[in-house]
Structure 1
Amino acid sequence: MEEIKQEFLELIPKERLSPEQRAFREKETHGFGIAIYQFVREPSVLDEILPEIRHCMSIWWKNGTIVCFSASADMLYQERKLFFALYDVGKHKKRLKCAIYGASNAIIAETAAWFWSLQHSGRGQAALEIGYRRFDEDRAFDFAAFHPEQLAQILDANPQRAISIDEGTWTAQQGVVLATRPYPLRLTFCSKSGFVTFTDSGTAFIEALEKQKSLFGSLCLGYVAFGMLTRENMERLYQLEMLDELKIRSVYKDQALLPFSAKVNSLDYFFDARCVRPEDFHSLDIPAKNLSVNVCSDVWEVCDQFLIAMLNRMTTLGHFTKFNLELALSCNVHYEDFATVEVTARIADALISFINANPLLTHLVFD
């Protein structure tokens, strides 16, 4: 195997570890004796140090923090930490799981702002996933430690990179930064199992979006984003006219129809069919041209009536270019038990009418 030349990193021998570095060694969770490196010179591009990254290693940074690289990076030290993952890195387009450990929130934020601002190759799948695993609540990072200027620096350094925020309480000022980038940001909240809140329930974030003149890009509210925005702010979200794509995975039950009214080019919506009635679609406005709907239900009859009502309304509107429909039926519901010839014929007729009434349709998936 060809030996990789160390141009940016050097191993710190055990006998040369400083008192602060030895203190980190003593806080190891499993006592593996994790190798600690330091920078010979700091990189400006992420790809510069990737060839030198080994599995389960730590890099000491000048402010007294450690950046760890490991599949279990968030469980290596008994210290305050911030976990993150980088996607589509290096020539093999791999995922890099990392964590930053430090004595205070401020120095962890400083290190994150520097590391996340390294240039990340501009491929379409490049992504930064922030804080999606947390096993030690007492040593959890406080995301309010990011100054608005640091957050803006992180985003602006790699405007093509998707951002996923999966935990933490974020300030109103940080919400404004997220909403006001001068390029189409791709932003996701709660794609994993974490919980995200705003100190003002997202009011500043929504108000900043309302004033935004340029295209935002895409916004995704994941399955556990429920309650991140108030009902009022969710209603205001659906009225925004500068979102290109909106993905909704959780809503207030009494607002189940509102996402359909979102003034976006693309809408991706997951919801429970029991929250709506077939007649609700008779006059429903659906501005999106590209529509993806994932319908869950434990009652087939609800899906049957819902599907036909939705297809009939989309037939009337006639402006759709893409349509993806997926049924997520309960394990207790079997399609073949309910899909009689008559039911199948009704759905097929509604689908054929929809196709004929939408001449711009180029993509159709019915699963």
Structure 2
Amino acid sequence: MNVALVTETWPPEVNGVAHTLERLTEGLRQRGHRVQVIRPRQVLDRPVAGPRHAMSPEDVTLPGIAIPGYRGLRMGLPSTRRLRRLWRHSPPDVAYIATEGPLGHAALAVARQLGIPVASGFHTRFDGYARHYGLGLLTLPVRRLLRRFHNRCGATLVPTRALAEELREQGFLRVGVLARGVDTRRFTPARRSRTLRGQWGASGPVPVVIHVGRLAAEKNLDLVIAAFRAIQAARPDARLVLVGDGPQRERLARAHPDVIFAGQQTGQALAQHYASADLFLFPSTSETFGNVVIEAMASGLPVLAFDTAAAHEHLVDGVSGVRVSLTGARRVDEQAFVRAARELADHPEQWPLLGARAREHASTLDWSEVIGGFESVLVQLVQTEARDAHASAHG
């Protein structure tokens, strides 16, 4: 197939959406499909990129603008005329639109005008983000906008069964599940580093608690701190490592000088950070999935998380970590999360077994199956479009 993938985020930007799209693109190309990535020109674009991030000759970069509060990320401009010229000259068999920004809306409009079948990805809960930035009144309008966008597509792909059911209840149509995989050769307990632990002041049996993610309001970082303080009450020598960067970093660093801020990490360095810790805390409920949860599991870490997204799908309570239930209307019970952290701190002898079971489950999450499922969805859309065109031509 000739596939157009439209996205407003792409490596070397560091986030779960960019990582997932790169893996899907690599997988389709390895299966013999031509994939044209269409995205905004990035702040992080470099003259010489590594082999994983190198652009293919058919890829297209378009103008973009900076996203306020998200340093290093850009939002695509509509570029409707450019897309129309591009796809009239060389139409793709199918388009996958991964983001619902101005570029994504333009791509959907042009694809429908030209009769190109479209699948979309529901990668980010923009409706949920509104309340984290004091814009709770926009939650329902944003949700209506998202629903209208996705219902104009031939399929909308989400990462979990629970999210698929939730969107169906909200009136989203043609919703399917496309799971996520994890690279267990990269994320593995074998990357544990005594040197790195020494840099953290965690020699010997000192427990290291870690969180990986953007340091932003929607990640519920104050609860990471509160849970760590509960662990610290039982283990005063415990260390907390925050991996990532973002607008909350300066505030947190001022308030908590004993916390280790490791900054943004990628590749082998990121894998070493996971594997060199002992427990992963993830109190965010704003994710559609949360790749970091299964990366931590693959690294042999027990995970403490709310019962949603990746944790709901893959974490078994009391077996590979601890899941904390959400209350009514999907509200977080912060006290329950802190209590669970303290209970884990009281039984550190259980952590290695929980982590081993987490690793065992993560080993089943193979990217090749995910890519095969993605390929099947795109093939089905192409075949359906061809049947419909044939039926229309023959009355």
Give the TM-score normalised by the residue count of structure 2: 0.24
Larger radius of gyration: 1
Larger proportion of strand: 1
Higher helix share: 2
Greater length-normalized contact order (CA 8 Å, ≥ 6 residues apart): 2
TM-score, length basis structure 1: 0.25
